[in-house]
Structure 1
């Protein structure tokens, strides 16, 4: 191995120019050692190969070989942004042309919960007990059509979260708090003005408070508008959840605008056997005096319940391939600094470049940038290939929006970059290749391997406190405050949110760099 040293820097050289010169020298060192250039490329290849092997080992009959999951299997709707959504409810409505306003008074919201878990057939889950889930919903809905996954806006009362204004599955604004009762009814109003939909609530039907506004671009002149009721799976008494059904009573329902003159038309949306979301039974409605009593089951929200689908994700095959790549990058990052110590060339480097911490920073930038680029290319190829193989093998791949895929790819790259920088710091601390490689693998790789084969509380702690938390950047399944669900590792969810997990990894890297910087300054080369 040969290394290149830069001439001594002049004392009067500006600080930025000094660091640029050191950075250029460290990059020259890296690119002139053939093994250091070839190894990262091999890491990328291994990442793709092992991702392919994991994906190719998954064979199911959930979907057809072309990835079509609608024939004989559960249909999973996708929302306006391509995300998987739950869209099951009962609705009672009409066609509305042009601008208009729908007003109603909700005087009660009750419900029942199945005593059987969701993993039994709906026909076996009809025995129930009273209970209303916190996210049971009843209110006014407006959307271009009743096609599952289409855009919408709704103002509603809920079982435990007060009044809400929600639209397009992921947007949620709070209104008046408190439950609905005969003594405390909630008035709701939804107004359309062009593409703008505004929700209001009221205590008396006279004084209104705006709860939220949505702009549904491209809303057609004629839309569907009406009442709706839905009730999600409850996880209060069963780990696999229990189906529920909610019933709401509506009074004083009025549509102001050009609505179809025909009678109200009721229909169940997404309540068939082939819909992926577990519903207790199809909804219904009847009149009770001047009131409309509507029952419904399901949910209108982000689809997060992977366990109910047995689904894979765009990144589910990536962690193993990325782990293999990280081991190679750990060796390269270690050698980038320990090779100079082993041959005694580090003294020449420090003599030519005063400011040892500046040298460490330059090395960190170089190895971090190399790891980032290599991992980004590998992750992009691995995600696309893994998804293709999973679909070809009959697996259902949980839809992920474009921003989620970008975050996964960028997250994998950032994870590799920070890990490489951290291991560079470990190499600086130990000054021994074998010790640094072993330490890097034990601290930055081993926890993720243990976590992948463990269960229970061990996994929670590993993915919260160790560098394995950084793998949460690969999380493809969404979390939603609108859905009560056990977001456990067994169900496909990391304990921490993506950026929180990355923050844990970054903290470990910062700690290693800090120790390396202190030792580098205090001890002899």
Structure 2
């Protein structure tokens, strides 16, 4: 608990997490307001369409997570941390727990905030949380944000430079997975197993949260062959593997 308290103090005494948190909420909820507010009178707003802006908020979350560790390397405060806590694995796990916890809270606020605003702007929309799929699409955003934060934190530990880590996680999150299907013959098969595509499968399933007309009324669905439960396990497994690798590397090299 002491390590968690220390990491919490280090994280919240800097400005970047606060600004990133506000930015993530603003872009996610703002996108929901844009989609809902500009919808035609006859267009049905669903839970899935109200939550589609989560991808933009996740881009800010990965920046927050990467900065949480790379700034320590930049200003050499990580050396003080490792001197005070010789067990580097424990220190980095505590940091992952704090950053992941913050990302989870931001995700829950963003998910329910987007849904609530859509409900306010379009009370006639198909926005009732009547099924497990609907609840996952809203409440699951916090889980996805937390896992994405751990992935970005792991990349930050491996690269140690803010610009490099942020560039890598942003380019991958916003561009790489969308371009993979363009690879001839094997592109679509590879895309089915890309981490953030699989995370999208966890949130949207087979389109149940797109309303009574299924996938026809919402944003594009994931092409992952996994069920939502296995999709979450797969996404979490990738984060765990990356975190383990980053901790092993951190233990073997100089701070």
Q: Could you say whether these structures have the same fold, taking a TM-score greater than 0.5 normalized by the shorter chain as the test?
A: yes
Contact 1:448/1:462 (<8 A) preserved: yes
- Cα distance 1:397–1:464, how it changes in 2: closer, same or farther (>3 A)? farther
Confirm or deny that 1:24 pairs with 2:2. no
CA drift at 1:42: 2.5
User: Match for residue 523 of structure 1?
Assistant: 253
Confirm or deny that 1:466 pairs with 2:195. yes
Map 1:401-420 onto structure 2 (within 5 A): 401-420=130-149
Confirm or deny that 1:500 pairs with 2:237. no
User: Match for residue 80 of structure 2?
Assistant: 348
Question: What do residues 447-504 of structure 1 show as CA deviations (whole Å, max 9, x unaligned)?
Answer: 5655999xx985664243332210123217667xxxxx999x9875653322222223
- Cα distance 1:512–1:476, how it changes in 2: closer, same or farther (>3 A)? closer
User: Match for residue 16 of structure 2?
Assistant: 35
Supply the distance in 2 between the matched residues of 1:415 and 1:25 (Cα, whole angstroms).
25
User: Match for residue 336 of structure 1?
Assistant: 68
Contact 1:313/1:477 (<8 A) preserved: no
Question: Per chain length, whose mean CA-contact separation is higher, i.e. which structure has more relative contact order (CA < 8 Å, sep 6+)?
Answer: 2
Contact 2:108/2:141 (<8 A) preserved: yes
Contact 2:66/2:165 (<8 A) preserved: yes
Supply the distance in 1 between the matched residues of 2:59 and 2:192 (Cα, whole angstroms).
19
Contact 2:104/2:142 (<8 A) preserved: yes
Supply the distance in 1 between the matched residues of 2:49 and 2:72 (Cα, whole angstroms).
39
User: Match for residue 313 of structure 1?
Assistant: 46
- Cα distance 1:491–1:416, how it changes in 2: closer, same or farther (>3 A)? closer
- Cα distance 1:399–1:494, how it changes in 2: closer, same or farther (>3 A)? farther
User: Match for residue 144 of structure 1?
Assistant: none
Contact 1:314/1:397 (<8 A) preserved: yes
- Cα distance 1:450–1:383, how it changes in 2: closer, same or farther (>3 A)? farther
Contact 2:96/2:150 (<8 A) preserved: yes
* Residues matched between the structures, number: 246
- Structure holding more strand per residue: 1
Question: What do residues 270-327 of structure 1 show as CA deviations (whole Å, max 9, x unaligned)?
Answer: xxxxxxxxxxxxxxxxxxxxxxxxxxxxxxxxxxxxxxxxx552122322x2122112
Supply the distance in 2 between the matched residues of 1:486 and 1:329 (Cα, whole angstroms).
27
Map 1:86-235 onto structure 2 (within 5 A): none
Contact 1:317/1:386 (<8 A) preserved: yes
- Cα distance 1:52–1:344, how it changes in 2: closer, same or farther (>3 A)? same
Contact 1:338/1:433 (<8 A) preserved: yes
Question: What do residues 18-49 of structure 1 show as CA deviations (whole Å, max 9, x unaligned)?
Answer: xx221111111011112322321221122100
Map 1:244-263 onto structure 2 (within 5 A): none
CA drift at 1:510: 1.6
Question: What do residues 83-123 of structure 1 show as CA deviations (whole Å, max 9, x unaligned)?
Answer: xxxxxxxxxxxxxxxxxxxxxxxxxxxxxxxxxxxxxxxxx
Query: TM-score of the superposition, structure 1-length normalised?
Result: 0.42
User: Match for residue 37 of structure 2?
Assistant: 56
CA drift at 1:354: 1.4
Give the unaligned 5+ runs of structure 2. Answer: 209-213
Question: What do residues 63-92 of structure 1 show as CA deviations (whole Å, max 9, x unaligned)?
Answer: xxxxxxxxxxxxxxxxxxxxxxxxxxxxxx
- Structure holding more helix per residue: 2
Give the unaligned 5+ runs of structure 1. Answer: 1-19, 63-310, 480-484
Contact 1:330/1:423 (<8 A) preserved: yes
Contact 2:198/2:222 (<8 A) preserved: no
Supply the distance in 1 between the matched residues of 2:98 and 2:32 (Cα, whole angstroms).
26
Supply the distance in 2 between the matched residues of 1:457 and 1:51 (Cα, whole angstroms).
34
- Cα distance 1:459–1:44, how it changes in 2: closer, same or farther (>3 A)? farther
Contact 1:447/1:462 (<8 A) preserved: no
Supply the distance in 1 between the matched residues of 2:221 and 2:247 (Cα, whole angstroms).
38
Q: Alpha carbon RMSD of aligned pairs, Å?
A: 3.2
* 460-469 vs 418-427, which moves further: 460-469
